[in-house]
A and B are shown apart, each in its own frame.
Chain A
């Protein structure tokens, strides 16, 4: 059965279960402590920096930006702004801030406070300013003409160029609004003493170990169901499994996939399947031999037996791929599923057509963690079956990105997660800017300019229908040029103890957990 089918049927079963649950009328309960097992815990929660997924989970749980993301249907939901208007030219955003909210430290949420927090990365005068806060680079500050609080509850943002993603990037972890009181009081160490306006607030933070969060009674959408959330780091996969078995954690994304069959039959653990928000792919370096040759990239594409890769490398937790965009993305083009297929004969024919001396020697680079080594071995076997000679290049994370950034890899496997439910989040990989440091070195593609124009048009176009058309064209061109060869859409298992109810499976699958609606049954 294909992963898509399995995903869908799981989804249907879940819906059925949910309706059954509704029939038995078990209402959400308040109270309890939920312990979430993360793969790491950062040293700070300063949103100007990247602290690994453990840090992102904490920021997402305590933080709130102007808007929130709707990972299920795409688009933005109200956050600190209860409503907003965008001018027809897409340049002027007017946000109306909800009245009567306060930050965790008691400071009122005012338009001025929000503007100050948003300007933190571009205001060296701010006592909390730290040089080199790179994550704010995602907020689009460079494109801001002005940002002003026109009154206590109204903010007007004027852009230089239209930016279709501007609204949604405010839902990113780096879009979280920080209390002005905390910014003044803690200055550059505000990341160790974060005060935001989200559903939970930090009670205790032990760097490298855990963050203890308690429900924010004053959260604008009502306090969350659980009293306390503990996000605790377990860098080792076997250790996280042990903690799950010992009942020390209630929820995690980071246990080994191989444990799912056994855990599904266990008395106190349930496995839910996440939405297909993460792309797994192989990037071919098109700037140098041998992958400057399109025939070889095509040969790789047809050589991959994706069903087996997904079954044996990911324990079945992925859908068959189509293109760079995923099934939940705006403008997703289903027809890519006919290109990303297994056809070893065609792969052999393409190799023969290339006139290269057989076997064609290539290097496959990958990170030495999670499922990558196993996937790499399987991919190498598929490639060797059609006439490649693969050298496996296993690298630590730092070396992998160093080699990629220096354009020294040939074929490298990697993933792209959806941090914001907008196709640009993935299309940006193909922007001309920064191409020299990218996995594919796509500045060397014949269609580089054309692709870059589509990427730019994708954000500078405001109309949704037009954007859809642009992204379809983009996907078609990508499948034509094949700088990326697609492996699958990860549908990650979400491990929860049976008492955890109402788990959000969309944002969570992309690494952005949402614990607002979760509740615990006893």
Chain B
């Protein structure tokens, strides 16, 4: 198992290299460049040529690529072309909020999804089964921006239960240590800010959570159905074993694998892909940052940001794989 793990680890830099090279290439193919984006803001056009030279944009693409790789190799992600801020600093600012959002939405989707999936099978009632199935499909199909704005209208504008936007209330005082507010606020015992922080996470968390809850509910449901109809469960039932414990033990074990895979993937996709939700809730995370970076053609932002998203994604996947093998030893190193 350790050998397998090491083998995966060897792939890590290769995957990162491939992702960053693809990003580099994609950005050069997309029409527009960082200079053209700001050309109208600057009166003195001779200045623009100078800036292009500073960023190395006047060099041939091959040279730009080698330059990029050698800097990357030294761990130098450079400065954001649009704002002049070091990328590492921006990662510190933008990554923690999105990781927190991803974790909250995964908790929400797992709890809602598993409960709904179990309920739809365990409670032998067609109406409940159908409503769970309907709700879970609804969660999948409703456009995120739509769900988000509806939640805002109901819970922020009408009921005033939750704020419409941001990561924490305006004017709330707090100290930044790791920029994971969950830890920072607990470490400093700042409970007033902690309340505001949680309230800001609820609506965006639910928005993303509802979408994947649909997936989780479906997976749970089909895993449950399969188990309920397997021979050994019917035998167990025939022997008069207490049904609920049977369901939980076997079905959950059976459902766990696909749910873990799904949530692992989901975690990765939220890291860079919560673009819409972050935008609707004005949440200062990776998604809006990367989207702005793409729209402004800020090469260093997109290149630097995507590498971190990919890194987090690959590590998460390895974790999923390890969990997999812990749960189901059958899958250990397919050595063929």
Nearest CB in chain B: distance from A161 CB, A: 13
Asked whether any CB of chain B lies closer than 8 Å to the CB of A138, the reply is: yes
A242 touches B295 (CB 8 A): no
Residue of B nearest to A408 (CB): B31
Interface string of B66-87 (1 = CB under 8 A from A): 0000000000000111111110
Given A234-B165, A238-B149, A434-B39, A134-B32 contact (CB < 8 Å): no
Asked whether any CB of chain B lies closer than 8 Å to the CB of A11, the reply is: no
Residue of A nearest to B156 (CB): A246
User: How many interface residues does A have (CB within 8 Å)?
Assistant: 65
Specify which chain B residues have a CB less than 8 angstroms from the CB of A248 in the assembled complex. 163-165
Asked whether any CB of chain A lies closer than 8 Å to the CB of B45, the reply is: yes
User: B14-22, B219-227, B286-294: which lies at the A interface?
Assistant: B286-294
A134 touches B156 (CB 8 A): no
B43 touches A401 (CB 8 A): no
CB contact list, A128-174 vs B, under 8 A: 130-138, 140, 142
Given A133-B84, A191-B85, A398-B30, A230-B170 contact (CB < 8 Å): yes
Asked whether any CB of chain A lies closer than 8 Å to the CB of B236, the reply is: no
Asked whether any CB of chain B lies closer than 8 Å to the CB of A106, the reply is: no
Asked whether any CB of chain B lies closer than 8 Å to the CB of A418, the reply is: no
CB contact list, B153-176 vs A, under 8 A: 153, 156-157, 160, 163-168, 170-171, 173
B41 touches A236 (CB 8 A): no
Residue of B nearest to A397 (CB): B295
User: B88-96, B255-263, B324-332: which lies at the A interface?
Assistant: B88-96
Q: Is the interface of A mostly helix, strand, loop or mixed?
A: mixed
A175 CA to B241 CA, complexed, in Å: 80
Asked whether any CB of chain A lies closer than 8 Å to the CB of B308, the reply is: no
B89 touches A192 (CB 8 A): yes
A138 touches B44 (CB 8 A): yes
User: A35-43, A80-88, A288-296: which lies at the B interface?
Assistant: A35-43
Interface string of A43-85 (1 = CB under 8 A from B): 1101011111000000000000000000000000000000000
Interface centre among A132, A402, A405 (most CB of B within 10 A): A132
A398 touches B296 (CB 8 A): yes
Residue of A nearest to B170 (CB): A230
A393 CA to B79 CA, complexed, in Å: 32
Asked whether any CB of chain A lies closer than 8 Å to the CB of B125, the reply is: no
Asked whether any CB of chain B lies closer than 8 Å to the CB of A360, the reply is: no
Nearest CB in chain B: distance from A263 CB, A: 13
CB contact list, A219-235 vs B, under 8 A: 228, 230, 232-235
Asked whether any CB of chain B lies closer than 8 Å to the CB of A102, the reply is: no
B284 touches A206 (CB 8 A): yes
A44 touches B282 (CB 8 A): no
B164 touches A43 (CB 8 A): no
A43 CA to B38 CA, complexed, in Å: 16
Asked whether any CB of chain A lies closer than 8 Å to the CB of B186, the reply is: no
Interface centre among B166, B281, B288 (most CB of A within 10 A): B166
Asked whether any CB of chain A lies closer than 8 Å to the CB of B36, the reply is: yes
Asked whether any CB of chain B lies closer than 8 Å to the CB of A239, the reply is: yes
Specify which chain B residues have a CB less than 8 angstroms from the CB of A210 in the assembled complex. 166, 170
Interface string of A462-491 (1 = CB under 8 A from B): 000000000000000000000000000000
Asked whether any CB of chain A lies closer than 8 Å to the CB of B40, the reply is: yes
A228 CA to B170 CA, complexed, in Å: 11
Asked whether any CB of chain B lies closer than 8 Å to the CB of A212, the reply is: yes
Asked whether any CB of chain A lies closer than 8 Å to the CB of B48, the reply is: yes
B281 touches A239 (CB 8 A): yes
Specify which chain A residues have a CB less than 8 angstroms from the CB of B51 in the assembled complex. 132, 134
Interface residues on B, range: 35 or more
A233 CA to B292 CA, complexed, in Å: 13
A406 touches B31 (CB 8 A): yes
Specify which chain B residues have a CB less than 8 angstroms from the CB of A233 in the assembled complex. 282, 284
B36 touches A189 (CB 8 A): no
Specify which chain B residues have a CB less than 8 angstroms from the CB of A46 in the assembled complex. 83-85
Interface centre among B32, B153, B171 (most CB of A within 10 A): B32
Residue of A nearest to B276 (CB): A236
A427 CA to B73 CA, complexed, in Å: 46
Q: Which of B31, B145, B284 contacts A207 (CB under 8 A)? A: B284
Nearest CB in chain B: distance from A244 CB, A: 9
Specify which chain B residues have a CB less than 8 angstroms from the CB of A461 in the assembled complex. none
Q: Which of B31, B79, B82, B166 contacts A51 (CB under 8 A)? A: B82
B43 touches A137 (CB 8 A): yes
A210 CA to B297 CA, complexed, in Å: 23
Asked whether any CB of chain B lies closer than 8 Å to the CB of A188, the reply is: yes
A269 CA to B200 CA, complexed, in Å: 25
CB contact list, B262-302 vs A, under 8 A: 279-285, 288-289, 292, 294-297
Specify which chain A residues have a CB less than 8 angstroms from the CB of B134 in the assembled complex. none
Nearest CB in chain B: distance from A133 CB, A: 7
Q: Which of A50, A235, A239, A404 contacts B36 (CB under 8 A)? A: A404
A232 touches B31 (CB 8 A): no
A208 touches B284 (CB 8 A): yes
Specify which chain A residues have a CB less than 8 angstroms from the CB of B40 in the assembled complex. 401
Interface string of B84-118 (1 = CB under 8 A from A): 11100110011000000000000000000000000
B170 touches A35 (CB 8 A): yes
Nearest CB in chain B: distance from A176 CB, A: 15
A138 CA to B45 CA, complexed, in Å: 10
Specify which chain A residues have a CB less than 8 angstroms from the CB of B285 in the assembled complex. 208
Asked whether any CB of chain A lies closer than 8 Å to the CB of B10, the reply is: no
B36 touches A49 (CB 8 A): no
Specify which chain A residues have a CB less than 8 angstroms from the CB of B178 in the assembled complex. none
Given A33-B171, A403-B32, A48-B39 contact (CB < 8 Å): no
Nearest CB in chain A: distance from B70 CB, A: 18
Interface centre among A33, A44, A209, A212 (most CB of B within 10 A): A209
Residue of B nearest to A431 (CB): B45
Specify which chain A residues have a CB less than 8 angstroms from the CB of B93 in the assembled complex. 43, 207-208
A-B contact pairs, 14 of them (CB 8 A): A35-B170, A40-B292, A43-B93, A50-B38, A51-B83, A188-B86, A189-B85, A206-B167, A236-B280, A242-B157, A245-B157, A398-B30, A398-B297, A401-B40
Q: Which residues of B contact A (CB under 8 A)?
A: 30-33, 35-48, 50-51, 54-55, 79-86, 89-90, 93-94, 145, 149, 152-153, 156-157, 160, 163-168, 170-171, 173, 279-285, 288-289, 292, 294-297
Query: A233-B284, A246-B164, A398-B32 provided; 14 other pairs, C-beta below 8 A?
Result: A43-B85, A43-B93, A49-B82, A51-B83, A134-B47, A208-B288, A209-B167, A209-B283, A239-B149, A246-B160, A398-B36, A401-B37, A402-B37, A431-B45
